[in-house]
Structure 1
Amino acid sequence: MASELQPRRRLSATDVALMIVGIVIGAGIFRVPADVAAAVSADWQALALWALGGLAALTGALTYAELATRHPSVGGEFHFLRLAWGPRLAALFVWARISVMQTGAIATVAFVAGDYAAGLWPGGPHPALWAGASVAAVTIANMISLEAGRRGQQLFVAVEVGALAAVLLAALWLAGTGTPAPQPPAGSTPAGTGLGLAMVFIMLAYGGWNEAAYLSAETRDSSRGLVRALVLGLGGVTLLYVLINAAFLATLGRETLAATPAPATLLLETAFGPLAAAAVATAVVIASLSTMNATVITGARAMCAAGRHVPLLAPLGSWDQARSVPRPALLLQGLIALALTAYGATARDGFIAMVAFGAPVFWLFLALTAAALFRLRRTHPNAPGFRVPLYPIIPLIFLAVCLAMLWSSLDYARFMLTSSEAGRHAGVLGIALLALGVPLVWRAR
């Protein structure tokens, strides 16, 4: 029987670290390297951007570690924003998260899963159907119990890390045999999008580290355990991303990489033959399911916590104590993600459309959350927990990163709007949905 929100501390630091890895190492690493290579003029610049993205995410991880351990709550960012800026801004965040941010992120990776699943079964169901099926399957699994979602996450992470290790082994094999780099298709090298937009995609590939804040109320030894999970999990991801991109650049070459939207497929096919395409397609599907699984887990918990403070969302505040899951929140989140998947299916590239749809709203609220740390330091000076080192330098760097990404994502939405492709209004739609949530602000308590 559902009851009030009373989550138990059942997750270890290892569980949380695996969830971070599962969210961050996802579809982005299979798509973004080509965009980065197209934006730079030298290999070292591409690697530097990936390392810079990891450092930027680390400043955010440290900032969130303080927020999550000094002000622990299953509500995560909603809780931080409510403490710092009041219930009305927090209510607007809830609306943004439900209608744009979390559900948009789920739909984004669903398109990747759908595209690659369709490639595994030529002539089978349309990619959009695979995308919708993946959203439904992950949501239902998590409605069964937290344990089902947690065990699935451990399996997903193990398989996807193994697949990325295979990419590194393929690169070493090609380097050892002296196989020449494949030549780029004539006239197919993209013109490049500029460093600002390249960083938007890089930060998308690193996205998800902040989601551990939503698990702070369910993490055993929440202060030290959560900090350790954030730093070690994200540090490992950064190292892996730099190594993967170094492998792509060393074996494919920057021009070929820039012209290849699926570089892992080309790399493994060059090293091991035609079966590589199927292997990479399977790896990308698994990575996408891993990302969706962890994102569904954390997003529904944020909705559940918000149901206690936003009257219109009160039904979402119930918690199934027997299964340790917020079932109403999981159901609503899944339905909205399916609707966004249907919208994205009308665009030429649903993945790109969902990036334009969600990025401006995401970086706006991330900047407000970063600023909340400074306010909470003044209003709650004696709260116990982790304190970010080198204060205020590290949180200021993180705030500057958020503002830069907000500007770049708005510019990307503007660029999409000037195109003639279907789905070009995705960025404007995301901002419009945020504005529609303003009436919720006046009813929040």
Structure 2
Amino acid sequence: MSNKKQLSLFDLSMIVVSLVIGMGIFRTPVNVAAGAQVPELFFSAWIIGGLVALCGALTYAEIGSRFPVTGGYYKIFSAFYHPSIAFAINCIIVVSNAASVAGVSLIGAEYFSKIILPIELQTEFYRIVIAAITIALFYVLNLMGLKVSSKTQNILSMIKIGMVLILICAIFTGSGAESMSNSLPAFKTTTGIAPSWTDYGKALGVCLIAVSFTFGGYQQTINFGGETKEANRVIPRAIMTGLAIIIVLYMAINYAYVKVIGFEQLKTAESIAAILAGKLFGPAGFTILSCLIYFSVLGYVNVNLLSNPRAMYAMGEEGALPKIFKKRTKKNEVMFVSLTVFAVISVFTLFYAQTFDKILNYTIFLDCIGMATSAATIFFLRKRTAHLDKKTIYSMKLYPLLPLIFIAAYSFVGISIYANDPEAGRNGLLIFAGFILIYFINRFFSHQQEQPNDKN
């Protein structure tokens, strides 16, 4: 069954926005501030992260333009490395994204329950129920087809952008940290001696772990290549448009955090978005923020139900997963098996969110490897598609400098993670090796089942 070309430039740009802006920007600036110690390094980390993301966006824009297929983030690994590598990396992404959907849904349910439920019912059980209902509702919505779910995504993405813009307006209410000007924070080392460039480099590496996590997600846009109108032209524009919006929003809201909360206070602050909302709306700020955060959660849940089943569908097409994963409905071409499995995994992990938070620590390390190696496929892809008409595809300027910068940056972040938490790195590699083993076991049994049929 051929894929219908349903996604426009606006649709795909809004998907990029929601793939990247989850809950991270409302939490990770605290970690970045604590790691940076001084405002100069804090803002430098966000600027560097934005520039690296821009290099990545241009790289994936060209990959998506030259290789427009459904489940592209799986298929580039399969085509240019080995299906086992593709299977392992994408399984890790699917599992971690399911855990993220569960965790983010719980955060949204926690805010939402305080508005709709009496105090005596604001328990963990009811938060899980609200989160599960949220996932179930968007599962049903996605069963209606890509057109319905993408239009819904457009609305939710616009609400999310509006939410960030509203919070940024807190800078016009005046600074909440006048004392900041009296004593500027100093960079402190563990030894107590003056910091060296090595100390600054290590601190920057720690900051970039959180920054890279907050900027991540746009690479999954290439999963929609087979369903995008004029994909060769639209995918690059959508990735660059979406990421440009994100970079501007991130820089502005981080300035607002420092301006309103104060840099020293930001290092240990909780509910930083709530502080901005309180400055804007006073006592009603929490209620308004709770509604906005819940809508932001809805966008994150929906976009993951859109993206991840496409990677699973691609695995089913190539036999890395059972062939049933490539089944579609006849009317709307919905990948209902892949969609159902991903939704079930997400709901299941609601009950094991704390355990999966630990797994996420390992998968961030592997995500760095995945980003670096997937971006490196551009070097193979350029050679394989050299015959294509240059007028019909996107080719980045400053090649190969930009992909090399992106690969080097994510390699640096991966090394920083390993240096900061060696156990997470080792366990991440073990998880990766485990999925590769599962791939070969699955292929062995599939081959054994096919042999009797071949004889007949």
TM class by smaller structure: 0.7 to 0.9
Q: Is the 8 A contact 1:105 1:354 kept in 2?
A: no
Query: How many Å apart are 1:310 and its aligned residue?
Result: 1.7
Residue 27 of structure 1 aligns with an amino acid whose one-letter code is M
2:41 alignment counterpart? 45
Residue 432 of structure 1 aligns with an amino acid whose one-letter code is I
Query: How many Å apart are 1:378 and its aligned residue?
Result: 3.1
In the TM superposition, 1:28-39 aligns within 5 A as 28-39=24-35
1:308 alignment counterpart? 317
Say which SS state the counterpart of residue 71 (structure 2) adopts.
Answer: coil
1:153 alignment counterpart? 153
Q: How far, CA to CA, are the matches of 2:129 and 2:420 in structure 1?
A: 28
Query: How many Å apart are 1:102 and its aligned residue?
Result: 3.2
Query: How many Å apart are 1:408 and its aligned residue?
Result: 3.2
Any idea what the Cα deviations from partners look like across 1:257-276, whole Å, max 9, x if unmatched? Answer: 11113111012213431211
Look at both structures and tell me which one has the larger radius of gyration over its CA atoms: 2
Residue 335 of structure 1 aligns with an amino acid whose one-letter code is V
Residue 26 of structure 1 aligns with an amino acid whose one-letter code is G
Query: How many Å apart are 1:86 and its aligned residue?
Result: 3.1
Q: 1:256 to 1:182 in 2, by over 3 A?
A: farther
Structure 2: which 5+ runs fail to align?
181-187, 190-201, 448-456
Query: How many Å apart are 1:239 and its aligned residue?
Result: 0.8
Query: How many Å apart are 1:412 and its aligned residue?
Result: 5.4
1:96 and 2:92 are equivalent in the alignment = yes
Any idea what the Cα deviations from partners look like across 1:170-212, whole Å, max 9, x if unmatched? Answer: 221225xxx65599xxxxxxx9994323212212211221121
Aligned counterpart in structure 1 of residue 409 of structure 2, from 378, 384, 401: 401
Any idea what the Cα deviations from partners look like across 1:328-380, whole Å, max 9, x if unmatched? Answer: 100011112223332224x5xx7x53531431232222222122221223344
The TM-score normalised by the length of structure 2 is 0.83
Q: 1:344 to 1:430 in 2, by over 3 A?
A: farther
Q: Quick check: 122-131 or 64-73, which moved more?
A: 122-131
Query: How many Å apart are 1:147 and its aligned residue?
Result: 2.5
Q: Is the 8 A contact 1:361 1:434 kept in 2?
A: no
Q: 1:155 to 1:360 in 2, by over 3 A?
A: same
1:218 and 2:230 are equivalent in the alignment = no
Q: How far, CA to CA, are the matches of 1:144 and 1:243 in structure 2?
A: 37
Any idea what the Cα deviations from partners look like across 1:304-325, whole Å, max 9, x if unmatched? Answer: 1221112542100112241232
Aligned counterpart in structure 2 of residue 200 of structure 1, from 205, 209, 212: 209
Structure 1: which 5+ runs fail to align?
184-190, 418-426
Aligned CA-pair RMSD? 2.7
Q: Is the 8 A contact 1:106 1:295 kept in 2?
A: yes
Q: Is the 8 A contact 2:85 2:436 kept in 1?
A: no
1:257 and 2:263 are equivalent in the alignment = no
Query: How many Å apart are 1:108 and its aligned residue?
Result: 3.8
Q: How far, CA to CA, are the matches of 1:50 and 1:392 in structure 2?
A: 24
Residue 431 of structure 2 aligns with an amino acid whose one-letter code is A
The TM-score normalised by the length of structure 1 is 0.85
Q: How far, CA to CA, are the matches of 1:260 and 1:415 in structure 2?
A: 28
Query: How many Å apart are 1:103 and its aligned residue?
Result: 2.3
Residue 286 of structure 1 aligns with an amino acid whose one-letter code is F
Q: Is the 8 A contact 2:145 2:332 kept in 1?
A: yes
1:174 and 2:174 are equivalent in the alignment = yes
Say which SS state the counterpart of residue 157 (structure 1) adopts.
Answer: helix
1:371 and 2:345 are equivalent in the alignment = no
Q: Is the 8 A contact 1:91 1:441 kept in 2?
A: no
1:428 alignment counterpart? 427
Say which SS state the counterpart of residue 224 (structure 2) adopts.
Answer: helix
Q: 1:97 to 1:335 in 2, by over 3 A?
A: same
2:438 alignment counterpart? 439
1:113 alignment counterpart? 108
Query: How many Å apart are 1:35 and its aligned residue?
Result: 1.0
Aligned counterpart in structure 2 of residue 390 of structure 1, from 370, 388, 398: 398
Say which SS state the counterpart of residue 308 (structure 1) adopts.
Answer: helix
Aligned counterpart in structure 2 of residue 124 of structure 1, from 122, 134, 154: 122
2:192 alignment counterpart? none
Q: How far, CA to CA, are the matches of 1:355 and 1:181 in structure 2?
A: 37
Say which SS state the counterpart of residue 323 (structure 1) adopts.
Answer: coil
1:27 alignment counterpart? 23
Q: 1:430 to 1:103 in 2, by over 3 A?
A: farther
Residue 124 of structure 1 aligns with an amino acid whose one-letter code is Q
Identity of aligned residues (%): 23
